[in-house]
């Protein structure tokens, strides 16, 4: 081998060699302690339980909210007596309704008053006497006029009455609660 060949092979060997880089320090990844893994799992578990609990509460609220108005509507409907169209009742007339045990009195001026059948003395049922145009109690002879006002004691106060409303020409009576009164006034009468 000649001198020149030897020189070129040495040069090639030198070119391949790179200066060594200083070794970088790689931060060591320490394995997570089993305690911290456990606490993370426990936290996630609690979080999921909380979310699930909120979802259940919301679902219950939606169901209750959905049912409540319907239940209220059903209840109120069952307390409403649909008496009939306004023209069915002549002025100066009293009509008995078995349902709710009431009288629907249409006054001379066309107003409506729904009256309880119970005497305010001791609660006997009071019939309407068409000939005398008055209610006369068979127990102790109390008498009331077509507005339920006492004409003859011992009844201490007028007959109880019920709220009346007229919707689209139909007379309706709210039987949910009898209204007590000490005297008659025009606000107790409903007009079409």
Using CB under 6 A, list all residues that contact ligand FES.
119, 121-122, 124, 137, 139-140, 142, 154-155
CB of 62 to ligand FES, least distance (A): 52
Q: Residue 121 or residue 172: which is nearer to ligand FES going by CB? A: 121
Q: Residue 94 or residue 126: which is nearer to ligand FES going by CB? A: 126
Q: Residue 83 or residue 155: which is nearer to ligand FES going by CB? A: 155
CB of 160 to ligand FES, least distance (A): 13
Q: Residue 124 or residue 163: which is nearer to ligand FES going by CB? A: 124
CB of 70 to ligand FES, least distance (A): 41
First-residue to last-residue Cα distance in the chain: 133
CB of 120 to ligand FES, least distance (A): 8
29 vs 37: CA distance, rounded Å: 15
3-state secondary structure 19-58: CCCCCCCCCCCCCCCHHHHHHHHHHHHHHHHHHHHHHHHH
- Determine phi and psi for 104, rounding to 5 degrees: -105, 110
26 vs 29: CA distance, rounded Å: 9
Sheet holding 93-97, edge to edge: 80-85, 170-179, 161-167, 112-116, 102-106, 93-97
């Amino acid at each position: 081998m000649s001198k020149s060949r030897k020189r070129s092979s040495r040069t090639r060997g030198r070119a391949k060699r790179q200066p060594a880089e200083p070794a970088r320090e790689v931060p060591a990844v320490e394995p997570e302690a089993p305690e911290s893994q456990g606490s993370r799992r426990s936290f996630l578990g609690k979080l999921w339980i909380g979310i699930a609990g909120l979802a259940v509460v919301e679902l219950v609220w939606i169901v209750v909210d959905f049912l409540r108005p319907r239940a209220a509507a059903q209840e109120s409907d069952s307390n409403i007596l649909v008496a009939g169209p306004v023209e069915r009742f002549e002025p100066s007339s009293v009509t008995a309704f078995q349902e709710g045990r009431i009288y629907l009195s249409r006054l001379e001026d066309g107003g409506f008053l729904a009256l309880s059948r119970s005497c305010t003395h001791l609660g006997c049922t009071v019939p309407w006497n068409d000939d005398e145009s008055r209610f006369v109690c068979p127990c102790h002879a109390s008498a009331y006029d077509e507005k339920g006002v006492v004409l003859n004691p011992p009844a201490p106060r007028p007959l109880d009455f019920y709220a009346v409303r007229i919707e689209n020409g139909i007379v309706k009576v709210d039987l949910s609660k009898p209204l007590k009164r000490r005297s008659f006034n025009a606000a107790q009468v409903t007009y079409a």
